[in-house]
Amino acid sequence: MKSHIIIPLCFSLAVLTMDCSKNDAPSMNVGTIYNPGNSGDKILKGKTTEQATPSDVSDQQLNNKLNLMDNDTVFQYALDSHNQGKHQEALAAYKKILETNKNYPDIYYHQGILYRDMGMREEAICAFQTAVTQNPDSAEAHYNLGYSYRCKGLHSEAIAEYKRALELISEKKVKQKAYIHYNLGFSYFSHGQIDDAIVEFKNALAYKPNGKEIHQKLGIAYTAKGWADKAKDEFSISRKSDMAESHN
């Protein structure tokens, strides 16, 4: 049986960037934490690291340490280091695996999550593009590629990835579907497709009725259409949800 080498894909991104902030999405927790034996339920789970933690070892010490491990152990080390905010150690570990096995399962996806948390948007896109090539039926890979495109202001490309993620994701993943619909609506709105944005924000609310950010963005979309009364209602719901959270 022939083995196919995965070549990392990286397309030119000579475009203006668009910031992605926590206020723009129901959740920034779109990364995944590796959990041996439970790899089938990874989409949109886990935590992201706010600030990198200084490495505990020198480059030479780290390289010596990694040389004593097999690839599975190195992979777990990379994930643990990422979770601890030791980004450079995690990145070095992923690169170590890729020196000998460019087909290691899910490595480009997790490397993309790491690059995203490091603020390296073009590298994240490159990694997620390769992750999609490696595993074209992964809803999480398509979602995160779409989100990375969105963060670069590439909304047309993001729309295609979000739509593919929705085709692949299980109906049982209610929370995740809300996030995808929300982000799809955001990209539609940013692309000037206001009516489509409204549809997607409503779809998101069907899965997450109390999503304050979703109500807020729906209100903005209604405002863009000149529907002042509808917009006022959505902003009111968003404020009420915000007040309810602050009292909890």
Mean pLDDT confidence for 123-134: 97
Q: Residue 52's pLDDT is what?
A: 66
Confidence check: pLDDT of 45 > 70: no
Q: What is the pLDDT of residue 60?
A: 87
Predicted pLDDT of residue 70? 94
Across 123-130, average pLDDT? 97
pLDDT at residue 63, as a whole number: 87
Q: Higher model confidence: residue 16 or residue 213?
A: 213
| Mean predicted confidence (pLDDT) in 208-221 | 96
Q: What is the pLDDT of residue 133?
A: 96
pTM of the predicted protein model: 0.78
Nearest to 186 by CA among 205, 200, 174: 200
Judged against a pLDDT cut of 60, whether residue 193 lies above it is answered with: yes
Distance CA 56, CA 51 (A): 15
pLDDT at 84 over 50: yes
Question: Does residue 32 carry a pLDDT above 90?
Answer: no
DSSP calls for 138-205: -HHHHHHHHHHHHHTT-HHHHHHHHHHHHHHS-TT-HHHHHHHHHHHHHHHHHTT-HHHHHHHHHHHH
pLDDT > 50? residue 96: yes
The answer, yes or no, to whether residue 55 has pLDDT greater than 80, is: no
Alpha carbon 241 to chain centroid, angstroms: 25
pLDDT band at 48 (very low <50, low <70, confident <90, very high): very low
Q: Which amino acid is at 154?
A: L
Report residue 44's pLDDT band, with 50, 70 and 90 as the boundaries: very low
Q: Is residue 159 predicted with pLDDT exceeding 90? A: yes
